[in-house]
Structure 1
Amino acid sequence: MNYLKSLKSRVVGDNSESKIAEILPVSSEPFECKPNECVNGFKESCFSLRSDAAATPLYETAEPSSLHFLVSTGTTDWEHDAFEQKGTILNTFNSKANNLARSSNITIKSNVTNEPLNISDPQSITLNKLDVLILPWFVWIRGITKDNIDEVFTKIKQILQSEKNDDTVKGNQAENLISKLTNVEGLVVTKDPNMSVILLCSHRTRDKKCGITAPIMKKEFDSQLRDLELYRDSGDDRPGGVKVIFVNHVGGHKFAANVLIYNKHGEFVWFARCTPLNVKFILNETVQHHKVFPANVRACSTFNAVKW
């Protein structure tokens, strides 16, 4: 597929920029900063690409999701299939998410993350009680178990069916979700206070390069976010920050580093072929000013702002 896409672009030209510009504003700033503008040093060889991966046009090599479930596991690497961990309810959760996607005719993506677990709760430690961040709703559902998981997905499905296939109502859907789940036994439903969430694949077992590049990228993101007073770790609930999270395989690891950004303002952007030299652009232009650099966009979409 990527070979055909690359061949077509050489023959008839690549109109990706015009397509992207219809969705999000295009920045006139360079995607790369100068090496001395990075806070941390890094080896360029860690981000080297095969010739085909470097030449393939990126746009539409990935697909934006209507919903993205992020399940906390407290680790930065996982089994090859991160949802096939025996003795947990991860597989149950993933199956129900896939069923919801089919029955609602939408695209849903599920990932596990390095977000911390409640170490005082044995069910959380064994991943039989799940904490899940739902994007782009920016809503946390904490305490999903085998006893309430059916009700959780039933409520989500009701919301999707009542406002079907309309990505302009994400904010309303989020408010409705909180209202519907507030009284479900065992759940704690809260609003995520961050203005943006950035996802980096750190799945070393699936692809060694992701395991190498993700910590380097996160170190640079965190350093620059501190300088901007936007850094937030898992214990910091101050509103308006930016959280950088490790996730399992997202697809297209040959384009690593992949960087997925959800802005509460109303944008989703999936950049690829990234290095620490791109962090300044991503934070200044995409996170704060909602603009993109088309040549490195794999997917993008907009949605109504979530107003908290």
Structure 2
Amino acid sequence: MRANSSIWRAMSRTQCLRGLGGKHCHAVSFGSGPRFQLPPSRCINPTVNTFRIRTYSSAEPKRVPETTFDENSEAAAKVPIVETCPCQQEYESEIGVPDLKGLEIDTKSRLAGVITRHYRHVLIHTGTIDWPKKIEDAQSAPWNASGEDITPIAANLKTLVSGKGFYADPFHPVLVTNTSLPINPSAAEEGHGTITVFPEGIEITSIPNKIDSLTSFVKSFLVAPSNALRPTESDRGTFSTKKITKPVILTCSHGSRDERCGILGPAITAAFKEFLGNDKEVQAYGLDCIVGDVSHIGGHKFAGNVIIHLPGDHLLSKAINAASTLAPQAFEMEGGSATVTPADGVSIWYGRVMPYHVAGIVRKTLLEGKIIQELLRGINNSNGELVDLASIGLK
């Protein structure tokens, strides 16, 4: 009764919850008591996934207690974790760090849990990293063979699913980004785009950059099952798709958004490609990955930022899907909660990654199925829900 009373008092004080989904509010239990988990666009800081936020003076940064690992917990055995990246000393002197031109990386703030909450991650293939500061502001689309200026697919898609878009769902937010992954050749010839959706790991090989086509795509792939706007009969069959069955490694290289990522990102991407292509252990294991760059994902101060999308059959995916999440507990959305589908993948967000960490990430996370604690920002399961880090042994 006391907990319920606290929740309702918090609701009365939190006016910004009104209008974010009608009467179906979200509250999560975390730490000493319940707290509300708001959509990123409505929070003070969109990269923090809970409402209770600390702020620190940039003039006198305070040391935030780092996440500790409880190796004796039952959850830790299910989601294996190593505290540090094991290959740093081996490769640090050999690979080094690109010249950051005096720019600083935040090594003091808490890293774990600072992740953009998203139900789906949409990657718009561009074949380049030459993006404007805001990807929706591009004057022309790289796949437009005619060269004429057109509204970029990112702008059209964000009109539908972001901000006040008709299909924007504050409880199932969609992260829309560009990627350097190539456009399907046949799509490029027709002036169409290529889009990949995670955690499902589905590539829509060719899609016209038209509102009606993108609306059909949104309703078929991005609208949550509990949303009344989801059609009874999906249009998925009308799209040319293929399943992504390999790990996908993406590094933020959005230099026009933040110079730190513009410097570190391409170097990290190159390090992944080189190591995966030349390491004997990787070759013996038969590990095959897709490596590319991604536009702004938040947390530039933690550069380099790396997202690893794992397929559902990876041993780490199965462990992550069995872990507890920060899903609402005190209230349920209409339609109930979805069931995790192990056939779909998961995503792991790492921060403060340097090129000399690449070998350790490949060996520990991709080959051995272990999370590297010192680099961890957060984890999304197959439902697009944030994994409760405390539930996997991280305090």
- TM-score interval (norm. to shorter): 0.7 to 0.9
Deviations 1:67-91 (A, max 9, x none): 1000011111201101222413331
1:140 is aligned to: 203
| 1:101-125 Cα deviation digits (max 9, x unpaired) | 6337213211101122345666765
Matched position secondary structure for 2:155: helix
Equivalent residue number for residue 130 of structure 1: 193
> Equivalent residue for 1:72?
125
Distance 1:162 1:90 in 2: 25
Q: Provide TM-score, normalisation by structure 2.
A: 0.59
Q: What SS is found at the alignment partner of 1:149?
A: helix
How many correspondences in the alignment?
274
- Cα 1:37–1:157 change in 2 (3 A) is closer
The one-letter code matched in structure 2 to 1:149 is: L
Amino acid at match of 1:50: E
Aligned to 1:300: 379
1:153 corresponds to which residue? Answer: 218
Match of 1:274 among 353, 372, 382: 353
Specify the alignment match of 2:241 in structure 1: 189
Residues 59 and 30 (structure 1), Cα distance of their counterparts in 2 relative to 1, 3 Å cut: closer
Cα separation, partners in 2 of 1:302 and 1:37, compared to 1, 3 Å? same
2:187 and 2:207 in contact (8 A); partners too: no
Kept after mapping to 2: 8 A contact 1:197/1:261: yes
1:243 aligned to which of 261, 286, 290: 290
Match of 1:216 in 2: 267
Post-superposition offset of 1:46: 3.8
User: Quick one: distance in 1 between partners of 2:123 and 2:284?
Assistant: 21
Instruction: Supply the RMSD in Å over aligned alpha carbons.
Output: 3.7
Q: Which has the higher helix share?
A: 1
SS in 2 for 1:299: strand
CA contact (8 A) 2:349 2:379 kept: yes
Please, which moves more after superposition, 99-108 or 218-227? 99-108
Deviation at 1:183, TM superposition (A): 3.4
Separation in 1 of the partners of 2:273 and 2:262? 17
Change (3 A) 1:273 1:85: same
Worse overlay, 29-38 or 279-288: 29-38
Contact 1:17-1:295 at 8 Å conserved across structures: no
Given that residues 214 and 246 in structure 1 are in contact (C-alpha distance below 8 angstroms), is that contact kept between their aligned partners in structure 2? Answer: yes
Q: Give the superposition deviation at 1:269.
A: 1.4
Question: Contact conserved, 1:260 with 1:270, CA < 8 A, in 2?
Answer: yes
Paired residue for 1:114, among 180, 184, 191?
Answer: 180
Letter in 1 for 2:199: P
Question: What secondary structure is seen at the aligned counterpart in 2 of 1:131?
Answer: strand
> Match for residue 310 of structure 2?
263
SS in 2 for 1:65: coil
SS at match of 2:220: helix
- Determine if contact 2:98/2:264 at 8 Å carries over to the other structure: no
Alpha-carbon distance in structure 1 between the residues aligned to 2:294 and 2:69? 28
Amino acid paired to 2:107 = A
Q: Which amino acid aligns with 1:256?
A: A
SS in 2 for 1:287: helix
Alignment of structure 1 residues 47-58 onto 2, 5 Å:
50=104, 53-58=106-111
The residue type equivalent to 1:66 in the other structure is Y
C-alpha distance in structure 2 between counterparts of 1:297 and 1:82, whole Å: 26
Query: Which of structures 1 and 2 has the bigger CA Rg?
Result: 2
CA distance in 2, matches of 1:46, 1:74: 25
Distance change (3 Å), C-alpha of 1:104 and 1:272: closer
